[in-house]
């Protein structure tokens, strides 16, 4: 039997995530019903595509798939998401009706990990501070006089959260001669050893690391996980990196510590998402702010498309999904 595939997401998302040739691997194994995505499941056009679809390839902004939608999708068996979390469009009805769901969260984790590792290397090398000194003095700068401890050899990097992103960071850091430690309440010492790192308590990680990088999920229990006490445990001249979520950090306490002048911060996420224009984080020389650029952007979106397309091909070949999502998984996603 021929398996039919339909896209479901805003047109702008479809253009960004699925450029023209990204869907070619589907052919001739699977039949793409239409190049234009379903944007409204309740429109005549949307319901016509739903009626024949065995597989939905979804993206950011996909409408909620609930009982009413599924009533008009008698053949639908798979929803393959070309992005991260599925919690915004997978309704309870999907789980109740046995729809199999997949996510490209692993593909989306790779650029975040790459960004993180780049920042770790630059931070240990004191590149941002030295560049700032060069720009401001416009004359000879002697890096080792400014930062005699600069360099990556044998520096300690602390990873908070052995999440999907945290594990990619650990994998990428294995190419460097660094001392990598991890703190995660759900990780065993044996699992940490298998990853090639040491499992330590959160207090020890924070107090002993040259770089502390946050990769825990955003849950009610992790709000202000990095509180004033932990922030004050950070060792002098350490760098704190956050590519997770702003609400995991007590930002007032972080700013107060930064303003003491002995802590550096690389923040790709904040709370609120866009800081007020008067925030001192914008102007403090010890802070590098980026506007949530660590996640998939530009050409990196195609990696997520490729992940979803490969999942569709696995369905065609009768293989299990590589990145399945279960209802119980959603409680632990960022």
Query: Do 235 and 167 belong together in one domain?
Result: yes
Q: CA angle 165-169-172, nearest 5°?
A: 135
CB 226 within 8 A of CB 250: yes
CB 248 within 8 A of CB 214: yes
CB 162 within 8 A of CB 181: no
Query: Do 311 and 235 belong together in one domain?
Result: no
Rounded-to-integer distance, Cα 50 and Cα 66, Å: 13
Query: Do 124 and 256 belong together in one domain?
Result: yes
State the DSSP string of 22-48.
GGGGGTTTSEE--SSPB--TTSHHHHH
Query: Do 164 and 230 belong together in one domain?
Result: yes
Q: Which two tokens stand for residue 116?
A: 């993180």
Query: Do 94 and 146 belong together in one domain?
Result: no
- Condensed to tens digits (0 to 9), the pLDDT of residues 9-51 reads 999 999 999 998 999 999 999 999 999 999 999 999 999 999 9
Beta-carbon contacts of residue 201 (< 8 Å; ≥ 6 apart)? 183
Cα diameter, the chain:
72
Rounded-to-integer distance, Cα 151 and Cα 177, Å: 11
Query: Do 89 and 39 belong together in one domain?
Result: yes
Environment class of residue 325 by beta-carbon count within 10 Å: exposed (0-12), middle (13-18) or buried (19+)?
A: buried
- Percent of the chain beyond pLDDT 70? 98
Q: What is the pLDDT of residue 331?
A: 55
To which H or E segment does residue 157 belong?
Answer: strand 156-160
Q: Which structural domain, as residue segments, surrounds residue 212?
A: 109-289
Query: Do 125 and 220 belong together in one domain?
Result: yes
Q: Which two tokens stand for residue 310?
A: 């490969």
CATH of the domain at 152: 3.40.50.720
Number of folded domains that form the chain: 2
- Condensed to tens digits (0 to 9), the pLDDT of residues 157-212 reads 999 999 999 999 999 999 999 999 999 999 999 999 999 999 999 999 999 999 99
Query: Do 267 and 123 belong together in one domain?
Result: yes
């Amino acid at each position: 039997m021929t398996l039919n595939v339909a896209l479901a997401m805003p047109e702008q998302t479809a253009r960004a995530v699925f450029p023209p040739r990204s869907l070619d691997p589907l052919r001739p194994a699977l039949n793409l019903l239409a190049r234009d995505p379903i944007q409204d499941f309740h429109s005549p056009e949307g319901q016509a595509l739903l009626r024949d679809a065995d597989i939905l390839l979804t993206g950011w902004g996909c409408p909620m798939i609930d009982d009413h939608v599924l009533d008009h999708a008698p053949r639908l068996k798979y929803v393959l998401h070309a992005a991260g979390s599925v919690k915004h469009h997978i309704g309870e009805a999907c789980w109740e009706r046995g729809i199999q769901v997949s996510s490209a969260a692993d593909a989306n984790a790779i650029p975040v990990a790459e960004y993180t590792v780049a920042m770790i290397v630059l931070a240990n090398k004191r590149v941002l501070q030295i560049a700032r000194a060069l720009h401001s003095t416009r004359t000879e700068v002697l890096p080792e006089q400014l930062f005699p401890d600069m360099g990556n050899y044998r520096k300690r990097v602390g990873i908070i959260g052995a999440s999907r992103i945290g594990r990619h960071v650990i994998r990428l850091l294995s190419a460097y001669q660094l001392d990598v430690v991890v703190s995660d309440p759900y990780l065993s010492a044996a699992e940490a050893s298998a990853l090639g790192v040491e499992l330590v308590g959160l207090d020890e990680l924070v107090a002993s690391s040259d770089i502390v990088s946050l990769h825990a999920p955003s849950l009610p229990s992790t709000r202000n996980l990095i509180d004033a006490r932990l922030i004050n445990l950070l060792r002098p001249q350490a760098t704190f990196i956050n590519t997770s979520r702003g609400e995991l950090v007590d930002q007032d306490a972080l700013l107060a510590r930064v303003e003491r002048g002995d802590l550096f911060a690389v923040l790709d996420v904040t709370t609120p998402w866009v800081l007020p224009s008067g925030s001192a984080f914008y102007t403090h020389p010890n802070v590098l702010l980026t506007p949530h650029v660590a996640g998939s952007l530009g050409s990196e979106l195609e990696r997520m498309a490729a992940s979803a397309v490969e999942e569709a091909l696995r369905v065609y070949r009768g293989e299990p999904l590589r990145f399945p999502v279960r209802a119980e998984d959603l409680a632990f996603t960022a």
